[in-house]
Amino acid sequence: MLPVEPGYRHVLRARFLVQWAVLSIGAIVLDQTLLPGTGFHGLPSTLLPLLGLLTLVVVPQRIYRRLGYRVGASLLQVVRGWMFHSDTVVPLVRVQHIDVTQGPIEKLFDVATLVVHTAGTHNSIVTLPGLDPGRAAEIRDIIRDHVRTDFA
What is the secondary structure of 69-133 as a DSSP string? EEE-SSEEEEEE-SSS-EEEEEEGGGEEEEEEE--HHHHHTT-EEEEEEESSSTT-EEEEEEE-H
The predicted pLDDT at position 23 comes to 94
Q: Same structural domain for residues 107 and 61? A: no
pLDDT at 150: 60
pLDDT at position 152 = 53
Judge if 120 and 79 occupy the same domain. yes
pLDDT of 122:
78
Tally of residues, the chain: 152
Same domain, 51 and 73: no
Same domain assignment for residues 58 and 79: no
Which pTM value belongs to this model? 0.87
Give pLDDT, residue 120: 78
Q: Are residues 57 and 126 in the same domain?
A: no
Q: What is the pLDDT of residue 148?
A: 72
Range of the domain at 38: 2-65
Residues 19, 79: one domain?
Answer: no
pLDDT lower than 50: segments of the chain: none
Confidence at residue 151, expressed as pLDDT on a 0 to 100 scale: 58
Asked if 92 and 135 sit in the same domain, the reply is yes
